[in-house]
Amino acid sequence: MSWRAEPIAAGAGAAEWWMEEWVRLSAFAYRNLIMARRNVFFLFELTFWPGVAMLSHGLLTRFLDLTPQMTAFILVGTVALSAVQVCQLDVAYAVLFDIWSKSMKHQFLTPVRIHHLALGSWVVGVGRGVIVWALMAVIGGRAFGFDFLGAGGMRVTLFLLGCFLTALVIGLLVCALVLLWGTRAETSAWAAVNFFVMLSGIYYPVSVLPGWVQTISAGIPLTYFLDGIRAGYGFPPRFAHPFAIGFALSLLYAVLAHWALAAAVTRSRRTGLLLKLSE
Amino acid sequence: MTVWPGPSASAGHRQVAWLSVGSTQRFYQIDPDGANAPAPAGPLPPAWYDEPVMPVSPLAVEAHDLAKTFRSGWLRRRETPALRGASLQVERGAIFGLLGPNGAGKTTLLSILATLLLPDRGSATILGHDVVREAFAIRRRLNMASGNASFVWSLRPAEVLAFYGRLYGLHGRSLRTRVAELLDRFELTPHLKTEYNELSTGLKQRLALAKALLNRPEVLFLDEPTLGLDPDVSIRIRAQIAELRRREGTTIILTTHYMREADELCDRIAFIKGGRILAEGSPDELKRQIRIGDVVALRLDPAAPAGLADLAGVLQVQTRGDRIECTVDSAEKRLSEILRWLVEQHVVIRDCQVHEPELEEVFVELAR
């Protein structure tokens, strides 16, 4: 008997389709986990910088002799910045690892789609973000008596989920920028978060920003997540239903960022940048 | 690998078998001339079915008038034409060589066929799928390895293969088995603990080839697969490429600078220069096509008979020491005529050797 190859998966069932989806997602999680385990700079991202941020900001609140409520206002911002930064870096690494090792084309030679790349690495980012939050909660609680669950378990959960969704959007945008402008856009992986959190009222209420900047802030989901959790510490909310608006915006931006990254991949196939970033 | 034999096909349909390859399912046509295995007793596996007969092209790759220009610069726009209308056809199961000088457009052509680059003009199909519109469908069935391949620096060989294997949908035992099989086949098992950036060039190359076989590709692109390797490693890699075609019927398109490699491996070769395919054919056809000619080297007594250059088919006569070298259009056709003429002239033939042109000479001629 002899055999001749024909197109694959002519009758692949839904279960198999889901399995393949999961396997492709897990590829990026697998790679990020190995890299996180093997490279010392990941350990710094996870422990050193968040620890330093929490200690320095906590000490600042001591020096300024802030009330527990104002301390919570500041430290919630510190946590938001660290959690978003760590999580979005994992998403950006899905492309950055290949940029650094000049292996980009191999990834896009496979039947992989943008959502595999984004969600697979984001899952690891969420895990690392939770570790960062837990570490900061311990340091903040022990050193400055700050109760990270003081806003209520549900609010904290929604806040963290909001931070991670924001990170997904920023991470996808960083990937798109890198695929549009190559290594010149690498720094956006570290700069983008700081830009967005500055506009979101990270250590201050949005009301202190100039009027036109407040309009921009109103378009950033993190503004609403910060507003939502600070309401749990007794600050009057600026927006009605901040979490609902934040999630709606996040989902909208996630779809747009996904589309932007897909468009950037197509453009890099047209310009040849995908090849220039490889070998 | 599990193969289920099937029932006989109904009229107008062909018989197919469901074959589990790793994590994917493939439908295979049973050769109508082959002897089918008997159907299993009891209920048939649910994967069996009659599939309507679809015409299958004998071509694995078909490209028509492909053109690509790279553009750079914001203010001063620079344009670099890389392909200017390249067309080729590659049969299933063939090894096809792309030869040409640096910057000829070989890698650009390969990249378009591998769905990594979009052409400005023209069209191409791989296994019947359009490389632009159906890129995702093709990617399951093709793969690529480059001579200067690179992977994430701190991953180990098995991890590199496991990562890309997952991207091809392999998982669980099938992934582990495939990775172990490829590590073993490319003799990478002793280097399991070595991170990618610490591997030697030869090992990196072997890992690139192993990665390229993860999904058992039906079409494989090899971009200078033996670039910068020691001769012994090159020989082994060439043997593995030939073995791959022989055992698995993989269609292989390779670019190379090494004429011997092309001559040894390729069924057909295309010479590409300045983004255009200048000549195409089997190595022997190409040698004849550009009319470099065969060389008949003679040692005669007397040394240089007059009139030899006037014989039909003799392109050139040169004296080198005690030898005369006659360049003829075809040694096969002209040798007997030359020898007969020499005998008629009462010339003693002390030695006679025929040299066919090397592919390298064809390359030099075309690259001028």
Q: What residue in A sits closest to B55 (Cα-Cα)?
A: A6
On the question of pLDDT at B87 being above 50, the answer is yes
Judge contact between B277 and B65, C-beta under 8 A. Answer: no
Judge contact between B293 and B362, C-beta under 8 A. Answer: no
> How many A×B Cβ pairs under 8 Å?
160
Q: What is the pLDDT of residues B130-142, one digit of tens each?
A: 999 999 989 999 9
Domain presence at residue A191 = yes
Judge contact between B122 and B63, C-beta under 8 A. Answer: yes
Angle between helices A221-231 and A68-100 (to 10 degrees): 150
Please tell us whether the domain made up of B59-286 is placed in CATH 3.40.50.180: no
Contact B26 A5 (CB under 8 A): yes
Pick the CATH number of B291-358 from 2.60.120, 3.30.70, 3.10.20, 1.10.390: 3.30.70
Residues shown for chain A: 279
Domain presence at residue A226 = yes
Question: What residues pair up with B70 in beta bridges, in sequence order?
Answer: B80
The two beta strands, B95-99 and B78-91, are unpaired
List CB contacts (< 8 A) between B143 and chain A: 109
Beta-carbon contacts of residue A87 (< 8 Å; ≥ 6 apart): A122, A125, A126, A128, A129, A163, A164, A167, A168, A171
Q: DSSP secondary structure string, B161-193? A: HHHHHHHTT--HHHHHHHHHHHHHHTT-GGGTT
Instruction: Give the side-chain half-sphere CA count within 13 A for A159.
Output: 25
Give CA–CA dist A80/A203, Å, rounded: 10
Q: Which residue type, as a one-letter code, is found at position B229?
A: L
- In this structure, what token pair is assigned to residue A3? 């055999």
On the question of pLDDT at B287 being above 80, the answer is no
**Tally of domains within chain A:** 1
Those of residues 172-231 in A touching chain B at CB distance below 8 A are: none
Among the partner residues B118, B151, B154, nearest to A38 by beta-carbon distance: B154
Contact B25 A16 (CB under 8 A): yes
Ranges of CATH 3.40.50.300 domains, chain B: 59-286
This model of the complex carries an ipTM of: 0.89
Give CA–CA dist A271/A51, Å, rounded: 42
Q: What residue in B sits closest to A268 (Cα-Cα)?
A: B117
Q: What residue in A sits closest to B38 (Cα-Cα)?
A: A1
What residue numbers bound the domain in which A236 lies?
35-276
Q: CB contact, 8 Å: A114 with chain B?
A: no
Q: What is the pLDDT of residues A97-145, one digit of tens each?
A: 999 999 999 999 999 999 999 999 999 999 999 999 999 999 999 999 8
Domain presence at residue A27 = no
Ranges of CATH 3.30.70 domains, chain B: 291-358
Beta-carbon contacts of residue B84 (< 8 Å; ≥ 6 apart): B67, B105, B274, B275, B276
Beta-carbon contacts of residue B21 (< 8 Å; ≥ 6 apart): B1, B216
Residue A92, pLDDT score: 95
Among the partner residues B150, B163, B218, nearest to A5 by beta-carbon distance: B218
Confidence at A242, pLDDT banded by 50, 70, 90: very high
Judge contact between A231 and A158, C-beta under 8 A. Answer: no
Q: What is the pLDDT of residues B208-256, one digit of tens each?
A: 999 999 999 999 999 988 887 778 888 888 898 999 999 889 999 999 8
ω into B302 cis (within 30 of 0): yes
Domain presence at residue A25 = no
- In this structure, what token pair is assigned to residue A92? 């950006």
On the question of pLDDT at B116 being above 70, the answer is yes
Domain presence at residue A24 = no
Residue B72, pLDDT score: 83
Domain presence at residue A14 = no
